[in-house]
Structure 1
Amino acid sequence: MTEHLRAVVSTLMPRAREDLATLVALRSVADARQFPPQECAAAAQWVLEAFREQGFADVGSIETSDGSAAVMGFRPGPTGAPTVLLYCHYDVQPPGDEELWESPPFTLTERAGRWYGRGAADCKGNVVMHLTALRTLAAAGLEPTVGVRIIAEGSEEMGTGGLEDLLRDRPELFAADMILIGDTGNAEVGAPTITTSLRGMANVVVHVSTLEGEVHSGAYGGSAPDAITALVQMLSTLHDENGNTTVDGLTNDQRWDGVEYAEGRFRADAGVLDGVGLSGSGSVAEQVWARPALTILGIDCPPVVGSAAAIAPRASARLNLRVPPGTDPVVAQDLLIGHLLAAAPWDVRVSVEPESTGMPFSASTGGPGYKQLRTALSEAYGAEVGFAGQGGSIPLCNALAEQFPDAEIALIGVEEPQCRIHAPNESVDPSEIENLALAEALFLSRFSS
């Protein structure tokens, strides 16, 4: 059965490429300030029609609280069979500076065996992966052994929460025994991986004030408190000499027991310059998946070009704190605020504005769904399946886990590190679409609770 379906998937890959090219050409950035809303509407309609062709007679587009369209459908299975939910999103990140792209961002372009374009991996490649899995079963004359739900979100990249609101209002549209979130990826190409851990986040903006206005650095420098210097001193206390995040009261020595993230591969994936060391103690996997990480996202102060010989009266910084499962992000945010206030030198005036928080997520991996999914992935790839974490957060996972505590949730997808999601020259390795489509077809044709 596995090899027969593998051959069927192979014959469908030209169709997969054609579909991905069509989707990538739709500039579905869910921000009307940057791209016309009609682009998202066209993408939603394309997804709706594509799944309707795969037997989802009960499929439609539902406007969510943030104005985006969620494509949702259900295909019944045998009486008494479990239900599997397939999630993906059709909206994409803006392309950014198009001069940094080696080919037009909204034109799917093949180079060195990879397919390049905005959304090729995140997450239109996963839309196509789900479609190819279903088409594989149809072409092989097989029916899923389960009921299948499809959810394609239209505003995931904006983080505006429309789908989570819909989940709270109409949970029956999401009900499932096994939920496959198609929005992550393997540890590397060809290495089947299920993401089981997501870090949460807590953001703050810190403001420092010291003077009524700018004063000459020659006349007053030495005694006049410099807001930038004060801010720099405060920020320097958030990491130790090894680069570990050191927020007072926040644990930073957690361990990771899943797949490792080799240092050499991480350096290549992250684009670390030659001769530059990595920050933090412990393994890379521990630092990026299991421990808190504080990043300075931006600083407001005079730019170098045009700066004057003056002492700055005000300075601000926006901080992003990632927290692992087991850490409450609201508590972590409070600890960060307390740390910043305590670290302020010279009695400068400090205010800290809390921004958004997001809960971390940890999957339960001992159920029948995980067992059968691991078998399907292993057969498709011919390799052992590993568990990995992800530094980012997907709020929908926590919302689903809260609403359906007995459901199994697994994160899979085509977005391995070489994809450069959210960056110029995003790409997907088509073998990932092919192998994951095979694995999903195997799973849907076998799963029973």
Structure 2
Amino acid sequence: MTANQHLVQPTDAELAAKLRESVHGALPASIADLSALVRIPSVSWDAFDASHVRRSADAVAALVEGTGLFDSVATSQAPIDGGGLGQPAVLATRTAKNGRPTVLLYAHHDVQPQGADELWETPPFEPTVRGDRLYGRGASDDKAGVMTHVAALRAVKEVLGDDLQLGLVLFIEGEEEFGSRSFTNFLAQHRAQLAADVIVVADADNWSTSIPALTVALRGNVTFKLTVTTLEHASHSGMFGGAVPDAMLATIKLLATLHDDNGSVAVEGLTTRETEYPDYEEAQLRRDTGLLDGVETIGTGPLLSRLWSQPSLTVTGIDAPTVANASNTLSPEISVRISARIAPGQTADAAYEALAAHVRSHAPFGAHVEISEVDRGNPFLVDTSGWALAEATQALAEGWGESPVQTGIGGSIPFISDLADTFPEAQILVTGVEDPDTRAHSPNESQHLGVFHRSILSEALLLARLDARSLDA
């Protein structure tokens, strides 16, 4: 039986109406608080000022404290393996009463770097409303997720007040955009405080601005630096070209072996997981991605199979002589960054071993290859038979006026597997505030304010539904 077949009763009509009124009335304040968070350039990467991330954590903690719901609110840092501390996270807890479940609400307050300022139509850290969207770095990913939690909690507090029996944990991470380097240590350090029956991760997409989604499958990832070397030093290309292979040639030939002529991944040992998919036309893919006229799609099979269930490989960076500095030399060494997305059902370790074996066995001309800076994150599949997913399905349908689509994500959220490993009995729900036009991580990132409104209402309804559920029932 799937979650959509569970017999779940609608939220009490009077309660739902009060929550709807509370969320709607507070929407201007919620948008203002979101805008204030966007103004803080909380980029968590090492090369950026960490004081902004601390300031962002403090601002989030103040918002959480202001809900009046929690027994404790604190910022905390956990150690990073290899030395140092991770970025500050916010952790707040409220004890469950009378057999009610505990729900953990997750989001992250750190953001990606803004990139080239000239590509932004408005300043990246000056929130700007244009039409029905709020523009700014982090406006959607994931400060809107943070504010969805805060605003939903405010509404629940206003409507239920002291009658709230639900246990609450709020965990707002500070380094998700930089690989969650201290995440597993944070879980170990705060395991007892983080323990929950239901985990809501607000960091994913919706099907559109009018149709919500529940993410039930996530691809994993393997990334690494690949260095190809053929010479001890650079040599004159006119004197020795034609007999001596340069590292650029070797790198190009090696990278070409990663895909077949259709653009499908051609690495033996990487697996595919097939399932059923909603309708998704190529025209929508072209609109969502900006694919140029005349440029063909790559791969085979249904489009959503290629995006959700098959592996993909992308060269995301290359260290090589620039065109401006090109000289007539044979390059001795070239480095590239490879990002692989792996299908649900395969471990990141197994995928890495397949990739490493392929690279080493396909190095042309006897070129030397070195793999370094390896990062791995496992894929994840949600158990769609659980009662929590059924409750979330009903809450989203009520909050949006449309039934949610169960979707996969082509990207990766590796820490969800860490949560599942640490809390194997918890039911995990992956929701979000993004839509196909959000452009998270890109210039002109934005949050659709209608989606923001509906996401807050849906989460408030979900919390009210969970508050009415006894674990003993």
Q: What TM-score bracket applies, with the shorter chain setting the length? A: over 0.9
| Correspondence 1:143-162 to 2 at 5 A | 143-162=163-182
Amino acid at match of 2:245: P
Q: CA deviation at 1:129?
A: 0.9
Q: Distance between the aligned counterparts of 2:244 and 2:389, measured in 1?
A: 62
Partner of 2:8: none
Task: Choose the corresponding residue for 1:429, options 448, 453, 457.
Answer: 448
**2:26 is equivalent to residue 12 of structure 1:** yes
**Residues 71 and 95 of structure 2 are in contact (CA less than 8 Å); yes or no, is this contact kept in structure 1?**
no
Q: Structure 1 333/127 Cα, relative in aligned 2: closer, same or farther at 3 Å? A: same
* SS of residue paired to 2:37: helix
| Correspondence 1:252-267 to 2 at 5 A | 252=272, 254-267=273-286
Q: CA deviation at 1:354?
A: 5.8
* SS of residue paired to 2:226: strand
What root-mean-square deviation, in Å, do the aligned CA atoms of Structure 1 and Structure 2 show? 1.8
**2:250 is equivalent to residue 230 of structure 1:** yes
Amino acid at match of 2:60: V
Partner of 2:89: 70
Give a deviation string over 1:333-364, Cα, whole Å, max 9, x none: 11111111211222233333361111111111
Q: CA deviation at 1:208?
A: 2.3
Task: Choose the corresponding residue for 2:55, options 42, 52, 59.
Answer: 42
Q: Distance between the aligned counterparts of 1:371 and 1:271, measured in 2?
A: 35
Partner of 1:22: 36
Amino acid at match of 1:27: P
**2:186 is equivalent to residue 166 of structure 1:** yes
Q: CA deviation at 1:47?
A: 1.4
* SS of residue paired to 2:70: coil
Q: Structure 1 307/186 Cα, relative in aligned 2: closer, same or farther at 3 Å? A: same
**Residues 333 and 354 of structure 1 are in contact (CA less than 8 Å); yes or no, is this contact kept in structure 2?**
no
Partner of 1:195: 215
Q: Distance between the aligned counterparts of 1:162 and 1:353, measured in 2?
A: 20
Q: CA deviation at 1:233?
A: 1.0
Query: May I ask how many residue pairs the two structures share in their alignment?
Result: 447
Q: Distance between the aligned counterparts of 1:72 and 1:261, measured in 2?
A: 39
Q: Structure 1 141/79 Cα, relative in aligned 2: closer, same or farther at 3 Å? A: closer
Q: CA deviation at 1:412?
A: 0.6
| Correspondence 1:42-441 to 2 at 5 A | 42-54=55-67, 55-65=69-79, 66-141=85-160, 143-252=163-272, 254-353=273-372, 355-441=374-460
Q: Distance between the aligned counterparts of 2:118 and 2:403, measured in 1?
A: 40
- Segments of structure 2 that go 5 or more residues without pairing to the other structure are 1-12, 80-84
* SS of residue paired to 2:394: helix
**Residues 145 and 446 of structure 1 are in contact (CA less than 8 Å); yes or no, is this contact kept in structure 2?**
no
Q: CA deviation at 1:77?
A: 3.6
**Residues 271 and 342 of structure 2 are in contact (CA less than 8 Å); yes or no, is this contact kept in structure 1?**
no
* SS of residue paired to 2:459: helix
Q: CA deviation at 1:160?
A: 4.0
Q: Distance between the aligned counterparts of 1:353 and 1:28, measured in 2?
A: 28
* SS of residue paired to 2:188: helix
Q: CA deviation at 1:202?
A: 1.3
Q: Distance between the aligned counterparts of 2:54 and 2:366, measured in 1?
A: 53
**Residues 144 and 446 of structure 1 are in contact (CA less than 8 Å); yes or no, is this contact kept in structure 2?**
no
Amino acid at match of 1:12: A
Q: Distance between the aligned counterparts of 1:430 and 1:28, measured in 2?
A: 22
- Higher mean displacement: 69-78 or 355-364: 69-78
- Segments of structure 1 that go 5 or more residues without pairing to the other structure are none
Give a deviation string over 1:248-287, Cα, whole Å, max 9, x none: 22234x3242434432222222221122111111122111
**Residues 78 and 189 of structure 2 are in contact (CA less than 8 Å); yes or no, is this contact kept in structure 1?**
no
Amino acid at match of 2:346: T
Partner of 2:9: none
Q: CA deviation at 1:306?
A: 2.7
Q: Distance between the aligned counterparts of 2:180 and 2:375, measured in 1?
A: 11
Give a deviation string over 1:294-325, Cα, whole Å, max 9, x none: 11122222222231233222222221111111
- Higher mean displacement: 279-288 or 138-147: 138-147
**Residues 71 and 94 of structure 2 are in contact (CA less than 8 Å); yes or no, is this contact kept in structure 1?**
yes
Amino acid at match of 1:226: D
Q: Distance between the aligned counterparts of 1:63 and 1:227, measured in 2?
A: 43
Q: Distance between the aligned counterparts of 1:444 and 1:409, measured in 2?
A: 14
Q: CA deviation at 1:141?
A: 4.2
Q: CA deviation at 1:88?
A: 1.0
Amino acid at match of 1:26: I
Q: Distance between the aligned counterparts of 1:249 and 1:32, measured in 2?
A: 34
Q: Distance between the aligned counterparts of 1:440 and 1:375, measured in 2?
A: 11
Q: CA deviation at 1:145?
A: 4.7
Q: CA deviation at 1:411?
A: 0.8
* TM-score, length-scaled by structure 2: 0.90
Q: Distance between the aligned counterparts of 2:30 and 2:352, measured in 1?
A: 44
* SS of residue paired to 1:189: coil
Q: CA deviation at 1:240?
A: 0.7
Percent of pairs with identical residues: 37
Give a deviation string over 1:166-204, Cα, whole Å, max 9, x none: 112331111111100011121211211011111111123
